[in-house]
Structure 1
Amino acid sequence: MGDDNPHSGRGSAAKSWLERIAAIFTAEPQQVSDLEDIIAEANSRNLIDSDTKGMLQGVLDVSKMRARDIMVPRSQMATIDIDQPLAEFLPILLENNHSRYPVVNEDKDHIEGILIVKDILKYALTPDIEWELKDLLRPAVIIPESKRVDALLKEFRQKRYHMAIVVDEYGGVSGLITIEDILEQIVGDIEDEHDDEEGDDIRKLGSNVFMVSALTPLDEFNESFSTGFDEEEAGTIGGIVLHAFGHMPAKGETIQLEGLVFKVTKANSRRLVQLQVIRPKPTEDAELQR
């Protein structure tokens, strides 16, 4: 007897897809690449749309990242000095338009606490009330650069805080990270109609020129370019390049690492987005070694 159900084919496909997911979660060992294959197949079968695929991939990417990979670097941190009067730090609030600011004592290595902008509204609008900035501060949450981003997101949600100060192995402040920074990795930036569509992590533009997403996993980059960047130092190639610059580079800045030239082609105030990677020709290699 034939199957008269017009949706039976799609139902079988969905069942097969779900069975494969169940198999991956119950099999040993589990591999992220298996999940990525399932997500791609589900998208190709129209079981999930491209936006859902992107968010699922974002979740998997976040699971590989450390705080140092997506933090706002120290040089880009907007801070308030604890001794500044309202008239002096109000322009900082207006210029940056953040909801939270680290409050420092003399320099960025001495964080006194976190100021939530809404906490000063009643005082700013009522000049007769006496107040001191130190009395409005919330405790600063301190995390190491090596903190896993997925674990940090869980802590953000459970403990209901939104910002953490990132410190290096010596206790110096190296940056900050917010819950919005993590969510951006999952749902992506809000792009306008002039932004280029994202493609593969690594795209070949010429015989020696490549366009590379800054979020390309470091193991994938090392395999593609036969490099030996330390995966303990960063989880993505963008993290490696950012550390090498020592500051948030602007569009067009270049740096040479392991014989490759990295050019920043897209970045915002918080992170690197896209890199152009140039592999020097043999003659260029010889000149670079002189």
Structure 2
Amino acid sequence: MIMFSAFFSASETAISSVNRIRLKNMAENGNRGAARALKILGKYDKALTTILIGNNIVNITCSSIATVVCIAVVGEQYGSLVSTIVTTIVVLIFGEVMPKSIAKDHAEPIAIGVSAVISFLMLIFTPFSAFFILLKNGIAKLFRSKESVSVTEEELMAIIDEIEDEGVLEQQESNLVRSALQFDETTVDEIITPRVSVVAVDVNDSAKDVCDKFLSEQYSRMPVYEKTLDNIIGVINQKDFLKEYLAQGEKLMIRDIVQETVYFPHMLRISEVLRTMQKKKCHMCVVLDQHGGTLGIVTMEDLLEELVGEIWDESDEVKSPITTVSENVFEVYGDVSLGNLRRFFEDREIDVEIESEAHTVAGWVLELFGSIPKNGDVVRSERFVVTVLEAAELRVNKVRIELVSDEVKD
């Protein structure tokens, strides 16, 4: 009887803690036991009820037999007491704790191993399990919340961490899933190329000047403005320009080959930006500030990099936007978005908070200094020591960020 009790206890734990994804992969590879276990999981309430019914029948039978035996051995006066003590200890150790502990560590093989017997018992106990499930559902309705059950993003992230630890997903794959979950939360102003870094051409520039700029900058597209960068009228494509330039030479008017672009407010989510750009077949858009001026530009490549990480082509100068110098020291380019810096720290489980209304590291550093810093300037905050490594006249190009530990602060 103890063996039967152990069987049901192990079955309960194995079915409750088995990894569905792993079982599904095994079933797809032809494992019949895994396929049977998956069917049991699909009827979890019925399976659990069947196991509990079986376990209770076994334990009650075991207790009854033990009582009869103990009374026969030690007499009626102490037989029931001895039976209770012995049965409790034996069932607890060998019928509950040990089988459940083993099943927890070997959930998949045990779930597969017991699947045939449990499937048969589910069929035998169908009338009883149906009654108990009906009773359970009736009682559950009395306490059911009106709010629909949902899974939070934090719970999804925890699930991703768990399946990554179990080896179901590689780190690169799990990072892609995390990026997809966070994609809808990111606003377009977090990933822009800021206005000060935008390379653009005036619609009245000569064809030769535009050609020289394409050759020197190595961009496939550039925005075109009229009089001021706040008035971007479209985008010029390198291939289209070179084709017309070879045909017309200096007679080419830039205005004639300007393609329309789209404009977005700076607080729009990048998921909406991506959908619109796909619909309009647009590769570059203009991001506007609250006053309607140009805040910066965003390309399709910028949007895709939020999902898959940095994308390099043959004309890019490969550089790491964030470089780890030592355990607590990092070198960061000023045009890195604060969102990316926060995610960099989160991915490495570095517990720091960056509180700022700025969108880029350069903007955050300007907030810390309260003025435009020069090369070598240092500013200290509660958790950071920031040193300016490269600064132009009106902007910060690169900084070193050193994390201050709690021990140093104390």
Contact 1:17 1:38 in 2 (8 A): no
> Residue type matched to 1:146 in 2?
M
Aligned counterpart, 1:116: 237
Alpha-carbon distance change, 53 to 17 in structure 1, aligned in 2, over 3 angstroms: farther
Give the gaps of 5 or more residues in structure 2: 1-6, 8-13, 25-37, 39-146, 391-396
Alpha-carbon distance in structure 2 between the residues aligned to 1:254 and 1:57? 36
Distance 1:112 1:277, change over 3 A: same
Q: Which has the higher contact order (CA 8 A, sep 6+)?
A: 1
CA RMSD of aligned residues (A): 4.8
Would the alpha carbon gap of residues 143 and 55 (structure 1) be closer, same or farther in structure 2, given more than 3 Å must change? Answer: same
Match status 1:262 vs 2:386: yes
- Which whole-Å CA distance do the structure 2 matches of 1:178 and 1:116 have between them? 13
- Aligned counterpart in structure 2 of residue 44 of structure 1, from 165, 169, 176: 165
Deviation at 1:277, TM superposition (A): 4.2
The answer to whether the 8 Å contact 1:204/1:211 transfers is no
Question: In the TM superposition, what are the counterparts of 1:145-184 in structure 2 within 5 Å?
Answer: 145-184=266-305
SS of the residue corresponding to residue 276 of structure 1 reads strand
Match of 2:222 in 1: 101
In 2, are the aligned partners of 1:55 and 1:187 still within 8 Å (CA)? yes
Assess if the C-alpha contact under 8 Å between 1:17 and 1:42 holds in 2: no
Aligned residue in 2 for 1:276: 401
User: In the alignment, does 2:184 pair up with 1:71?
Assistant: no
Cα deviations across residues 145-169 of structure 1 (Å, max 9, x unaligned)?
A: 1111122112222221111111111
SS at match of 2:232: strand
Higher Cα radius of gyration: 2
- In the TM superposition, what are the counterparts of 1:1-290 in structure 2 within 5 Å? 12-15=18-21, 28-127=149-248, 130-189=251-310, 205=327, 214=338, 215-217=340-342, 224-225=351-352, 228-230=355-357, 234=359, 238=361, 241=364, 244=367, 256=379, 260-263=384-387, 276-279=401-404
CA shift digits 1:110-132 (9 cap, x unpaired): 21211112222322112379542
- The answer as to whether partners of 2:265 and 2:289 remain within 8 angstroms in 1 is yes
- Shift >4 Å, 4+ stretches: 16-19, 190-199, 209-214, 223-228, 237-240, 242-246, 252-260, 263-266, 272-275, 277-285
Aligned 8 A contact 1:66 1:148 in 2: yes
Q: CA deviation at 1:264?
A: 6.9
Question: CA 1:273 to 1:40, structure 2 compared with 1: closer, same or farther past 3 Å?
Answer: farther
CA 1:204–1:121: 2 relative to 1, 3 Å: closer
Which runs of 5 or more residues in structure 1 are unaligned? 3-7, 20-25, 267-271, 286-290
Conservation of the 8 A alpha-carbon contact between 1:254 and 1:261: no
On the 8 A contact 1:143/1:167 being kept in 2, the answer is yes
> Contact 2:263–2:287 (CA<8 Å) still a contact in 1?
yes
| 8 Å Cα contact 2:323-2:330 kept in structure 1 | no
User: Given the superposition, is the C-alpha separation of residues 40 and 72 from structure 1 closer, same or farther in structure 2, using an over 3 Å criterion?
Assistant: same
In the aligned structure 1, how far is the partner of 2:236 from the partner of 2:387? Answer: 36
Q: Deviations over 1:223-259 (max 9, x none)?
A: 94566535xx65xx7486277499xx9xx87674865
With over 3 angstroms needed to count, the CA separation of the structure-2 counterparts of 1:75 and 1:228, relative to structure 1, is closer
3-state SS of paired residue (1:146): coil
Q: Corresponding residue for 1:5?
A: none
Aligned counterparts of 1:121 and 1:188: Cα–Cα separation in 2? 31
> How many angstroms apart in 2 are the aligned matches of 1:257 and 1:28?
45
What do residues 40-98 of structure 1 show as CA deviations (whole Å, max 9, x unaligned)?
22222222222211211222332221111110011111101111111112121112222
Q: Cα 1:124–1:141, aligned 2, differ >3 Å: closer, same or farther?
A: same
Q: Which has the higher helix share?
A: 2
What is the Cα deviation at residue 193 of structure 1? Answer: 11
Contact 1:205/1:211 (8 A) holds in 2: no
SS at match of 2:210: helix
Q: 1:197 to 1:139 in 2, by over 3 A?
A: closer
Distance across 1 between alignment mates of 2:190 and 2:201: 25
Richer in strand (by share): 1
Shift, 1:102, TM fit: 0.7
Give the conservation status (yes or no) of the 8 Å contact 2:322–2:331.
no
